[in-house]
Every structure is written in C-alpha cells, then in structure tokens.
Amino acid sequence: MNEFSNCTFTGQTVRLDHGKYTDCIFQSCTIEYGGEGPITLVGCTFNQCAWKLVGAAINTIAFLRTMYSSMGEFGEQMVESTFNSIKASKRPV
C-alpha cells in the first residue's frame, strides 16, 4: 500500500486504489477510485475536487443500476439492502 501523510495535492488526478492518505489536502483534483484495492482516508480535506469512479468501481455501479431497474421488486430490495448496510456501518463521530 502506498502511504501519504501531510501531503498537498493540487490540480492533479489522484488514483486512490492501494493508498493510505493521512491528513492530506486535495485542492482542485480529480479523485479516482477503480475498485482495484483498499484505501484509507484519515483526516483528509477535499476542496473543489471532482470524484470519478473508473474500471471495476464503475462496473459495480452499472450492475447495481441494472439490478434496481431491471429485476423488479427483488432487484430494488437488493440494492436498497446494500445501501442500508453501507449507511449502518458509518462510524460514530
């Protein structure tokens, strides 16, 4: 895993996959996630950044969209259940 601590990224495209970012600042960056590996974000600040899913990550979103729109009530329930699980795992502040 690539580790970055107290770094400032400005105007760059930053691929998060396989990265650990601690107390970093991202200014006017394009932030990409491809679903190829874990990431850790601790105490980071994102200012005026664009977020972009690519590769396996965007394919996963397309799969969820297809399930939700094409598989009737079952598909809708599966997607809603997935999002509810994500929401439930939010750490208390």
Which strand (E) or helix (H) includes residue 53?
A: strand 50-53
What is the three-class DSSP state of 93? Answer: coil
* Reported pTM: 0.82
Handedness of CA 87, 88, 89, 91 (dihedral sign): positive
pLDDT > 60? residue 93: no
Does pLDDT of 89 surpass 80? yes
Residue 78, pLDDT above cutoff 70: yes
Sign of CA dihedral 30, 54, 3, 24: positive
**Residue 32: is its pLDDT beyond 70?**
yes
Euclidean distance between CA atoms 11 and 33, whole angstroms: 17
Q: How far is the CA of 71 from the CAs of 27, 37, 48, in angstroms?
A: 40, 29, 37
